[in-house]
Amino acid sequence: MTSNPPLQENPLLSRDTVAVGLQARTELHAAPPANYSPLSPDSKYVYADGESICIENQGSLPLDRCILTNEPSEVCHRIPLRDAENPGTWWGKRPRLRVGLTRESLKRLRHGALLTWSSLTIGASIWGVGVFGTLNNMAPSISLPFYSAGSLLVLISGWFRAKASVSAPRVSREFAVINGAHPNYLEQFDQYHEGEFLPRPQEDVDQAAQGEPIYA
């Protein structure tokens, strides 16, 4: 059985090791060691729940397949865990999850990021025109459309930012729920059953807070 070539790490990513839900500025987990088997038969950290992935604190996803297409991965990338239905997650620092991607999938994510920031910049500029008009006694009938159009573009950019990648409708201290994975990618995981998520021992959480990665 031949081993897969090592995945290439995005050089722009931070190298902080973190845990789900411990702090807003933390990463979900560090890169697996070379001898790490991401999906051992007795793994208790990752489950499938319908079309979602449930990953426990300190769990890690297999990196040999692209989470979006289920094709062989070409790069490794950390994606922020945001939820398109929760505006509070659209902006700011979020926990991140390391996933495998094809180069084409990574390109689409980057194009999505470019569209997001372009919409945000244009929206903020239009909104600024409305502010300028108000400060210069422009009639409300003229300045109001600028406020409305600018605010709408800002909201659209935030929604698209959360929707461009996989989404995370729930991120807690114990586990995260991930949506948007390819159906064939989900087939490698056992199905989740009620009551299977258990808090990790306190010493595990303490080690995670100190930056020591823990694997299933």
Give which of 86, 103, 79 is closest to 164, Cα–Cα.
79
Instruction: Domain ranges for the chain, please list them.
Output: 111-160
Q: Please provide the distance, in angstroms rounded to a whole number, between the alpha carbons at the two ends of the chain.
A: 23
Angle between helices 140-163 and 103-135 (to 10 degrees): 160
pLDDT along the chain (216 residues), means of 10: 46 34 32 39 67 81 86 82 69 76 81 67 74 71 72 66 70 80 87 57 41 32
Measure the CA–CA gap between 157 and 151, rounded to whole angstroms.
Answer: 10
Dihedral pair phi/psi, residue 50, rounded to 5°: 65, -120
In DSSP notation, 9-73 reads: EPTTS------TTT-TT-BS--PPPTT--TT-TT--SEEEETTEEEEETT----SSBBTTT-SBP
* pLDDT value for 193: 64
**Residue 47 in contact with residue 196, Cβ under 8 Å?**
yes
* pLDDT value for 216: 29
* pLDDT value for 158: 60
What the block records as the tokens of 194 is 């009620």
Kindly list the distances between the CA atom of residue 4 and the CA atoms of 1, 15, 29, in Å, as whole numbers in the listed order: 10, 23, 21
* pLDDT value for 87: 66
Measure the CA–CA gap between 61 and 76, rounded to whole angstroms.
Answer: 11
Q: pTM for this structure? A: 0.52
Helix (H) and strand (E) counts for the chain? 4, 7
